Amino acid sequence: MSAVIETRHLGKWYGEVVGVNDVTVTLGSGITGFLGPNGAGKSTLLWLLTGQLRPSQGEVSVYGESPWQNAALFRRVGFCPETEGLYRSLTGREFVMLLARLSGLGRQQARTRADETLEVLGMTEFKNRRIGTYSKGMRQRVKFAQSLVHDPELLILDEPLAGLDPIGRRDMLALIRRLGDAGKDVILASHILHEVESVTSRILLINRGRILAEGDVHEIRALIDRHPHHVKVACDRPRELAKRLIGSNDVISVRIDPDASALSVETARPDAFYSHLMGVLAGSDLDVTAIESPDDNLAAVFEYLME
């Protein structure tokens, strides 16, 4: 898989304030989530990737080229910033057309693409209204439209769901998934973990300008051996299952739920435990109705890493 983005010892600071600190990472194609709390350094890292900031140290490349003062590369990248830089006196259509022209599209092509993109974002009905009359969610859709209008290869989205209602968030996430399925490379930066989890399992966890972890949820979870992994198994005879699991090297503890409908298992070796559990169940007449783990989600992983 060829690299879409590469950084080597990348750093950016503002006086004594460090925005990005010694980041070395290689990202391939597809959708990647940048996760971190507000102020973690996500936006600074995105500004470096889009050539809006020059690194204080290290190197960054996008499709093998430096983004700094690289107009040809800009045309291959679409950027939806967290902050608003909209011209409130323009209509949504005029604004998206303007950004399309700045990305190299001719007048007629820009007009056609603007209409098509605004339709995809559900803004056709409102495209001829001035941006100053838009709600926060409508402005967010126009920001997304301008990043997409020139059909870029790489989309870099900084908190693109801010200001959207639940239906709007659902529709935007569905659009991001479709773009990934269509072959676009996408960077989605967010502090809301379940939203990123719904479009990709490939993540970078960022805090204080550093990459805390990189990989998918399970790979990152495997890095945290000091935090036992919890698995809940619902079955008809949890005590019988507990007897068969206790004593295994991959089981730390077993607890029967108060209503005796399930048991909760602690393990520091989840892959080995799941394999062991399947072997136990295959040779028994136990009726298992559910196997779930609250640790198999980004929220739990992020909480552990932040500790």
Average pLDDT across each block of 10 residues of the chain; the chain has 307 residues. List them in order: 90 92 95 90 95 96 96 95 92 97 95 98 97 95 97 96 88 96 96 87 90 84 73 93 91 92 90 88 89 78 71
Q: What's the total number of domains in the chain?
A: 2
State whether 176 and 254 are in the same domain.
no
Give the end of a domain, one of 216, 245, 262. Answer: 216
State whether 23 and 164 are in the same domain.
yes
| DSSP letter, residue 56 | S
State whether 183 and 246 are in the same domain.
no
Q: For residue 160, give the amino acid letter.
A: P
CA distance 281 to 288: 8
Give the end of a domain, one of 216, 250, 278. Answer: 216
- Which tokens sit at 257? 């739920």
pTM of the model: 0.82
| DSSP letter, residue 144 | H
List the one residue out of 10, 74, 80 whose CA is nearest residue 48.
Answer: 10
State whether 135 and 29 are in the same domain.
yes
Place of tokens 């998918």: 216
List helix spans (H) across 182-290: 193-197, 217-222, 238-245, 270-282
Give the domain extent around 274: 224-306
Sign of CA dihedral 298, 301, 306, 307: positive
CATH of the domain at 260: 3.30.70.100
Q: Is residue 155 a contact partner of residue 186, using CB atoms and an 8 Å limit?
A: yes
State whether 105 and 83 are in the same domain.
yes
State whether 134 and 275 are in the same domain.
no
Position 200 scores a pLDDT of 92
Q: Is residue 221 a contact partner of residue 190, using CB atoms and an 8 Å limit?
A: no
State whether 158 and 241 are in the same domain.
no
